[in-house]
Amino acid sequence: MTKNEAQTPENKAPVLNQPPVLWGRTQKLIKEIDNMLDGDLITYWNNPHGSVCSNDVMGFYQMLERTGPRKKLYLFLKSNGGNGQASLRIVSLLRRYCDELVALIPLECASAATMIALGADRIIMGPMAYLTAVDTSITHKLSPIDRDNNRVSVSLDALNRVIKLWRDEKDSHTGNPYQSLFGHIHPLVIGDADRSNSLSVKLSRDILSFHI
């Protein structure tokens, strides 16, 4: 039982928790935008500390089950990224409940959010919008520690670039580049980054296969 439910009299319904800032204004704008479109609008807006996650998949499912199949859906999407497998599941749900999916990108749509956008038939972007590469970064239990004693995320793309630069300038270096890397990054971290990158490529291909 939540705090609000505990304080609510038995003869009243539980109080619905809502965002504390701009709830009324945003709901009004969403309704106005929805009335302008030739399809139904879904908003998926993550704050800088939020991310695409498996819990959101359940939220999408419950909403789509309640509203039913539609001819066209517009997805208003803003997120810094998150879990790629959750992105695939969200796209799979959306495509199941609509004939045409259009992504509306107002601002950042990065990493796992870019993967969701790839699942749309059309992507419409505003002047401040951008997509990113699906570059998987992982924070492993054996990842290096920064000056604030936090684990550093490691990207396979960054590792590959270091190795490429090393090999391109091999005349000025001796030995194996991996020997130097292993002094800073544990081999298991590199292996896990490679596995995660391969998974991201597969997930992106699966998402594109819904309409290409």
Please compute the mean of the pLDDT values over residues 101-128 and round it to a whole number: 90
Q: Choose among 163, 195, 168, 191: nearest CA to 179.
A: 163
Instruction: Give the confidence band of 3 by pLDDT, cuts at 50, 70, 90.
Output: very low
Please compute the mean of the pLDDT values over residues 33-58 and round it to a whole number: 82
**E strand or H helix at 95:** helix 84-96
The CA-based diameter of the chain, rounded to the nearest angstrom, is 81
Please compute the mean of the pLDDT values over residues 7-31 and round it to a whole number: 66
Residue of higher predicted confidence among 86 and 143? 86
Please compute the mean of the pLDDT values over residues 19-38 and round it to a whole number: 75
Quick: pLDDT tens for 149-162: 787 777 777 777 77
How far is Cα 210 from Cα 201, in angstroms, rounded to an integer? Answer: 15
Quick: pLDDT tens for 66-113: 888 889 999 999 988 888 888 889 999 999 998 899 999 989 888 888
Quick: pLDDT tens for 168-200: 776 555 667 777 777 788 778 778 777 777 788
Percent of the chain with pLDDT over 70: 84
Q: Choose among 166, 127, 159: nearest CA to 143.
A: 159
Both tokens of 48, joined, read 């800088």
Question: Does the pLDDT at position 8 exceed 60?
Answer: no
The full set of domains in the chain, from first to last, is 3-134 (3.90.226.10), 137-196 (no CATH)
